[in-house]
Amino acid sequence: MSKIIATAAIRGAHKIVERAFEKYEEAVKKFGKEAEIGFPNTAYYLPIIYAMLGYPVKRLGDCEEVLQEAKRLLPEIPSEKTWVPYLGPALDAGMATFFAEEIIEAIRYLENPNFYVKGEDVTEENIWLGAADDVIFRKRGVEFVDGTAPGFAAILGSPPDKETAVRIAQELLEKNLYVFMHDQTNGIYMPYLLKEAGVQLGWPTRLIPFGPEYTSVVFSIGFACRVAMSFGGIKPGDYLGNLLYNKDRTFAFVITFGPVSDEWYANGAGAINWGFPVISDWDIPEIKPYGVCTYEHVVSKVPHEEIVDRAVEVRGLKVTTIKLDIPVAYAPAFEGERVRKDDLYLECGGGRSPAVELLISAPLEEVEDGKIEVIGPEISDVEKLGIKGPPYVLPFAVVVKVAGVNMQPDFEAILERQFHHLINYAQGIMHVGQRNIMWLRISKQAVEKGFQFKHIGKILYAKLRQEYSAIVDKCEVTIYTVEDKVKEVLEMAKRIYAERDARLAGLTDDSVDVFYSCTLCQSFAPNHVCVITPERVGACGAYNWLDGKACYSINPAGPNQPIPKGELIDPVLGQYTGVNEYVKQASRGKVERVSLYSILTDPMTVCGCMECIAAFLPSINGIMIVNRDYLGMTPTGMKFSTLAGMVGGGQVTPGFMGVSKHYITSKRFLSAEGGLLRVVWMPKMLKEELKDRLMERAKELGVPDLIDKIADETVATTEEEVAEYIKKVGHPVLNLPPLM
Ligand code: SF4
């Protein structure tokens, strides 16, 4: 390793550890050692320290032991004349840097809880977002596992001007990366340049200003540590597992702009521990041999026009972006972008005009492949037509006709559901809702670049043909923007929606011969298999039986395989010979039997991305359900995150089960134990969200006021309090037979 870099990194680490000690001593004087400390709303404590040392920092006094560990890790600053191998000591210095910086940032939260914005979005007054809480982390972290986001760029400092900042940010986003921003260069902060250029900042647009100081780099690295712990099943304290998981799976790197200080070198050395290389525009020594990183460790003097491509190449990330013939950028990173009132040029639907979207299948000879037609005014016509605006309002209907040898009517709704994200990926275009409650907003910036309705047609045509080539052989798109035509489509669509809904409602576990598997989560929970049936959606809530069927047709060797049911072994538990055989083989012999409808006897494995966890409360004979977004305590004495850590990772734990929200109101929901009548506790927010469906199911069960009899956190958070409550309200569980 370059002696210059190692010396600077070690020197920087010494300064940072010393700074942390000073901060710690000051804070102890002010708050005392018992003061609670940590990043907000997280079960991962200070995540780097927790991931590396397995040590949960909860109180200020806990920091002392960690700082001593950081001090032990600090190597001597190399002397002028001694030449020794430097890589190991520099990496240790980098690790000590992150321990110290997490403590500095945690003390910042203690001293000034409002230093960072709480939530996903920046505000007018404050652009610094600080550590991602567990709600944000869950939502975003899963993208690092499912491939939607291959990794992140941790940026230290800033390009010199807003044009360069915008271009670099855009190039990173087009490669689907998250952009984490830290510190400044010569008083210039990259997020401020982006803001000045009208670029939206925040988690939804993947442009995250973490903090104004270099110490905020720990929010980036901590995020990676949490991905490995939460989705990779890496245990806290398994430092090697965490470093290797990230090296192999999280495609992250550091980009620095301008002169590199000792402290930046120390952070760079820290990031290299995780296999994240450093790419700089400045003239610093390079570290070319491969080793800890997949390829080079430090690459310097990279011109701004090449820095993103070079970083991606050095990190070994292969990006396959498809260029669409449209005038705006197109990438998943733009999905969360909103078109605000001031930026709005034109909108359709959303209660302002009739709007509808529909995908139908037709015989091959009735579809003209590649035909895109706009019937009615184009976006460029609205000014000439004398319509009042901006924002202009037009009626809108998009009808996509597809044909294919393997296309089936059951796939229509699945393909139609893709419109939402496919349209949203276009920069400056916002799509909300679906069917006839869709809402489309086109920004002024997109229109200035030449965006027209026909480009929506081009997007849908290209993406459906490309991503669903196994079932879509031909596709044509017609867009209507005249009211009478839109109303005609609307009537036809309503008829088709009703037919589809009736078809879906008629699907039951008994009416089909095959179920579908999903093994997508095996990348982080190797024994996990979801068995998806018409009445039991996958645990994450994202895959229903029809999705499984369509995904198998699209990718016959993929994670969704048909499972012939075989013989029914036990109708109450929902055990089938075919399901048991399949699960045994797909879990490599680890799981021998699965009951589809029981939480106590051979329940399904729990992965890590379930929407909710159901847990048996033995003293009450009841079941509680907690959803991922609920951060409070549950009657099991554990929060969702602790429960997930305890039962997740592909294990079978009788009494605990990962369930989707949709499954809770299914007739088959834990029917072996009495189903919904057994549910005694749910967070209020979950009751609210499922209210209509819960009430409908409760009526069917003959207890119309069941929802009020189910306790929530406003009346009970311990098993004893739940017991008291259900007695008081006469919950039907009291009449059910005991389970144990
Ligand atoms: S939770 Fe189940 S259905 Fe959802 S992605 Fe994982 S394995 Fe598939």
User: What distance in angstroms lies between residue 228's CA and the mean position of ligand 1's atoms?
Assistant: 18
Segment among 61-65, 435-439, 490-494 with least mean pLDDT:
435-439
Q: Which residue's CA is minimally distant from atom 6 of ligand 1?
A: 521
pLDDT digits over 211-244, tens only? Answer: 999 999 999 999 999 998 887 778 899 999 999 9
| More reliable by pLDDT, 232 or 486 | 486
| 158 close to 184: Cβ distance less than 8 angstroms | yes
Q: Ligand 1: which of 530, 544, 552, 610 to mutate, judged by most atoms within 8 Å of the beta carbon?
A: 530
Q: Which residue's CA is minimally distant from atom 3 of ligand 1?
A: 538
Ranges 131-140, 293-302, 649-658, 677-686, most confident? 677-686
Q: What is the rounded average pLDDT of the residues 487-491?
A: 96
pLDDT higher than threshold 70 for residue 523:
no
State the closest ligand 1 atom to the C-alpha of 542, by its place in the atom list counted from 1: 4
Provide the percentage of residues in the chain whose pLDDT is more than 70: 98
| 97 close to 91: Cβ distance less than 8 angstroms | no
pLDDT class of 351 with cuts at 50, 70, 90: confident
pLDDT class of 96 with cuts at 50, 70, 90: very high
State the closest ligand 1 atom to the C-alpha of 609, by its place in the atom list counted from 1: 1
Any ligand 1 atom below 6 A from CB of 604:
no
Q: Ligand 1: which of 521, 523, 561, 563 to mutate, judged by most atoms within 8 Å of the beta carbon?
A: 521
Any ligand 1 atom below 6 A from CB of 520:
yes
pTM (2 d.p.): 0.70
- Which spans in 285-406 are helix H? 307-315
pLDDT higher than threshold 90 for residue 306:
yes
Q: How far is CA 315 from the centre of its chain?
A: 22
What would the two tokens of residue 540 be?
């994450």
Q: Ligand 1: which of 145, 146, 518 to mutate, judged by most atoms within 8 Å of the beta carbon?
A: 518
Nearest CA to 130 among 189, 220, 210, 39? 210
Q: What is the rounded average pLDDT of the residues 398-402?
A: 97
User: What distance in angstroms lies between residue 324's CA and the mean position of ligand 1's atoms?
Assistant: 31
Segment among 2-16, 22-36, 89-103, 571-585 with least mean pLDDT:
2-16
* Local structure of 96: helix, strand or coil: helix
| More reliable by pLDDT, 613 or 320 | 613
State the closest ligand 1 atom to the C-alpha of 528, by its place in the atom list counted from 1: 7
- Which spans in 160-202 are helix H? 162-174, 190-196
User: What distance in angstroms lies between residue 667's CA and the mean position of ligand 1's atoms?
Assistant: 21
Any ligand 1 atom below 6 A from CB of 609:
yes
Q: Which residues contact 394 (CB under 8 A, 6 or more apart)?
A: 346, 348, 353, 376, 377, 382, 387, 481
Q: Ligand 1: which of 527, 607, 612, 661 to mutate, judged by most atoms within 8 Å of the beta carbon?
A: 607
pLDDT higher than threshold 60 for residue 321:
no
User: What distance in angstroms lies between residue 142's CA and the mean position of ligand 1's atoms?
Assistant: 12
pLDDT higher than threshold 70 for residue 106:
yes
Burial 289-318 (b: 16+ CB within 10 A, else e): eeebbbebbbbbebebeebbebbbbbbebe
Q: Which residue's CA is minimally distant from atom 5 of ligand 1?
A: 520
Nearest CA to 25 among 51, 76, 56, 63? 63
Rounded Cα gap, residues 575 and 566, in angstroms: 10
User: What distance in angstroms lies between residue 517's CA and the mean position of ligand 1's atoms?
Assistant: 9
Q: Which residue's CA is minimally distant from atom 4 of ligand 1?
A: 540
pLDDT of 80 reads: 66
Q: Quote the mean pLDDT of the chain.
A: 92
Any ligand 1 atom below 6 A from CB of 530:
yes
Any ligand 1 atom below 6 A from CB of 540:
yes
